[in-house]
């Protein structure tokens, strides 16, 4: 298999805007966890804190916050690769973006006025913009890319699926380059939704901990610029990593709950390892989905003990929150950062081993060996996706 080269990456989230700030947060435990206040127009009496991007880091400009987050992350990816969008526009460059919130209806105020026949100036335009919007298409237009375009909406696996699909476009020869990743903002849809599902927590989440009490949602974006080996060479880009394998499996167990036996995740992990030509024992670590819900962490632990026994487990949602459609892409970038630094960050929030899981995540900054790791996502509808990533020295 021809591996997709990762030319550059970019991030923005509550733990840091830009990869340097993000890594500092992952080392120190610094992140913004607060009530959404004016950001969310919720009618629920109980208020839940979330992982928010600070107001002074909110990107200006038109379009949804989700789109603006992704464009911000994309520009950092271009800068790391030292390429300009115009150079990529001259190639067969596609865009593949995963999202959940940005594809959900969220023009509540405009729709409310529409239903009462009291539309204000700009409301009709806002509604029309929503119904004709596509996150990936908007990003392609912003940068002048004319290759394949796909907005991926597989709930919380969207970001992982977007990166995996983009790598497939490179492997199949459909594209020379693909801008991919995931993005989501916090608004009323996920905020009210996770509270109503009774899986949100008012405390900071505690991945894999015995006293874990639920999910904290977050927001942000991550972008990866994938290149074919020939495109990387012609542009003078030194790869910062590689997408070695991708696996996807939908078990359809339940609309919102994971399969307790983790059968879909088992398949997705197995498919990704097989495509990469690697074994579980070859992994330096696994970056878990680790939402800190009782059911999710139990299912993941079961599968990790089956397929990845003894492999260190990383969990980062204690600092980023669950960034929904962006989560898989954000965690893929963190995985790559860890590989290239030879260190895996602690599972912030973990407090006490759960004897039922037979799994303890990494609890302090820890050196790791090897140049390949796996990142995985579980999602509503039984969607499961996994990526095997190689660091910049992979195969050297």
Mean pLDDT score across all residues of the chain: 93
Residue 385 and residue 272: Cα distance in Å, rounded? Answer: 9
Q: Is residue 280 included in any domain, yes or no?
A: yes
Q: pTM score, two decimals?
A: 0.95
- Residue 36 or 336, more confident: 336
User: Is 200 domain-assigned?
Assistant: yes
| Mean of pLDDT values over 293-302 | 96
- Please tell me the distance from the alpha carbon of residue 322 to that of residue 319, in angstroms, as a whole number: 9
The residue ranges of DSSP E strands in 77-216, in sequence order, are 93-98, 149-152, 177-184
Tokens of 11: 């991030």
Instruction: Give the number of other CB atoms < 10 A from CB of residue 247.
Output: 25
Q: What is the pLDDT of residues 168-224, one digit of tens each?
A: 999 999 999 999 999 999 988 899 999 999 999 999 999 999 999 999 999 999 999
Region of poorest pLDDT, from 126-140, 186-200, 238-252? 126-140
Asked if residue 396 belongs to a domain, the reply is no
E strands, 1-156, in order: 4-13, 16-17, 33-34, 50-51, 93-98, 149-152
Provide the residue range defining the domain that includes 371: 4-391
The answer to the question of residue 151 being in a domain is yes
Joined together, the tokens standing for residue 346 give 């602690």
Q: Is residue 199 part of a domain?
A: yes
CA angle 206/210/214 to nearest 5° reads: 45
Q: How far is CA 290 from the centre of its chain?
A: 13
Determine, yes or no, domain membership for 24.
yes
Average pLDDT over residues 256-266: 91
Would you say residue 132 has pLDDT above 70? no
Whether residue 235 is contained in a domain is answered as yes
Sheet strands (E) in 260-361: 286-287, 313-314, 343-344
Q: Could you tell me the CATH number of the domain that includes residue 109?
A: 3.40.47.10
Count up the domains in the chain and report the number. 1
Helix axes 108-115, 123-131, angle to 10 degrees: 120
pLDDT of residue 125: 73
What pLDDT sits at residue 75?
Answer: 98
Q: Give tens-digit pLDDT for 74-113.
A: 999 999 999 999 999 999 999 999 999 887 776 777 777 8
Residue 252: inside a domain: yes
């Amino acid at each position: 298999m021809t591996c997709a080269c990762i030319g550059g990456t970019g991030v923005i989230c509550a733990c840091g805007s830009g990869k340097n700030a993000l890594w500092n947060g992952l080392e120190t435990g610094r992140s913004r966890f607060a009530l959404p206040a004016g950001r969310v127009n919720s009618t629920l009496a109980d208020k839940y804190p979330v992982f928010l991007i600070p107001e002074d880091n909110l990107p200006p400009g038109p379009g949804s916050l989700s789109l603006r987050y992704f464009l911000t992350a994309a520009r950092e990816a271009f800068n790391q690769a030292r390429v300009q969008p115009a150079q990529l526009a001259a190639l067969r460059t596609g865009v593949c973006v995963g999202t959940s919130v940005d594809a959900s209806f969220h023009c509540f105020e405009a729709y409310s006025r529409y239903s009462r026949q009291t539309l204000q100036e700009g409301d009709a335009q806002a509604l029309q913009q929503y119904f004709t919007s596509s996150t990936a298409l908007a990003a392609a237009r912003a940068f002048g890319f004319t290759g394949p375009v796909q907005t991926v909406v597989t709930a919380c696996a969207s970001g992982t699926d977007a990166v995996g699909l983009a790598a497939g476009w490179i492997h199949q020869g459909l594209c020379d380059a693909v801008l991919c990743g995931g993005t989501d903002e916090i608004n009323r849809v996920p905020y009210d939704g996770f509270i109503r599902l009774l899986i949100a927590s008012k405390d900071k989440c505690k991945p894999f901990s015995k006293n874990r009490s639920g999910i904290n949602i977050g927001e942000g974006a991550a972008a990866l610029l994938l290149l074919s080996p020939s495109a990387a060479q012609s542009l003078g880009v030194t790869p910062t990593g590689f997408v070695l394998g991708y696996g996807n499996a939908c078990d359809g167990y339940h609309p919102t709950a994971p399969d307790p036996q983790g059968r879909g995740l088992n398949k997705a992990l197995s498919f990704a390892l097989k495509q990469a030509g690697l074994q579980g024992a070859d992994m330096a670590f696994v970056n878990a989905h680790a939402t800190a819900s009782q059911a999710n962490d139990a299912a993941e632990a079961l599968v990790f003990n089956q397929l990845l026994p003894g492999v260190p487990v990383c969990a980062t949602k204690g600092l980023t929150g669950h960034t929904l459609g962006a989560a898989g892409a954000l965690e893929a970038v963190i995985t790559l950062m860890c590989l290239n630094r030879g260190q895996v960050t602690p599972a912030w929030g973990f407090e006490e081993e759960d004897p039922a899981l037979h799994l303890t995540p990494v609890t302090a900054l820890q050196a790791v060996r090897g140049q390949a790791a796996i990142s995985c996502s579980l999602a509503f509808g039984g969607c499961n996706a996994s990526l095997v990533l190689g660091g910049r020295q992979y195969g050297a």
